[in-house]
Amino acid sequence: MNKSMVFPNFWQALLYNYILPIIIGIAVLLLIFKGAVPTELYTFNSNLGHLFTIPFLLFFLWKSKIKISWSEFTNISINKILVIILLTVSIEFIFYGTTILFERLFDRNYPNFSTKPTHFLSVIHALVAAPVIEEILYRRIFVHQFLKQYSFWVAITFSSILFVIPHVPTIIFPELFIPFFIGGLFLGFVYYKTQSVLLCIISHFIMNAITYLPIHKLF
């Protein structure tokens, strides 16, 4: 296969999924600042954030001509699920261990979703929308297409960088790039080894579920 014909490469993914939305967002903010449009029309609700990702997901599916078969969501076994659960929990402990270390090193106070009031929409967003949409986009599309163009580690690294960028905490706390990047590498490795979107979704779900537990302030 001609590598130049594979879509997207890393720079195309970066452009379409991040730079263009940023440019559009800045343009909208300028219009709001000048009073050209009502502010309330563009109030962003983080609980519904991934609704804005769906058009880009559909765009990449169309442009890359990827066809996702049903078997990618059903071809799993109990043994694989158990292994994924154990590995995911281990990675999540590494994630939290790293964040705790950074809190002490940089005298930070990172947000803790399990100790602050959580609206049920944000839980649905984290446990349903994020795992499904992000795993289809970053693993099934990006990792899958990158592996046609780059070596394994380059493909996984590029997809992990793209995965980290939109997570807001890394903008406020740059050092959090490292734990999120580790999570991206792990999820990319899961897809590479299993070729199963469902196992990636399950793993992502477990990561987010641990973050939101205990959900005792759901309502």
* Residue 61: C-alpha distances to residues 81, 142, 200 (Å): 27, 10, 18
Residue 152 lies in a domain: yes
> What pLDDT score does 217 carry?
42
User: Which segments in the chain show pLDDT lower than 70?
Assistant: 1-4, 28, 31-49, 112-119, 168, 213-219
Residue 218 lies in a domain: no
Residue 188 lies in a domain: yes
**Structural domain harbouring 91:** 3-212
> What pLDDT score does 24 carry?
73
> What pLDDT score does 4 carry?
58
Please count the residues of the chain.
219
Residue 118 lies in a domain: yes
Residue 106 lies in a domain: yes
> What pLDDT score does 70 carry?
86
Quote the tokens at residue 143: 């990792």
Distance CA 104, CA 212 (A): 22
Residue 21 lies in a domain: yes
Number of domains in the chain: 1
Residue 157 lies in a domain: yes
> What pLDDT score does 216 carry?
38
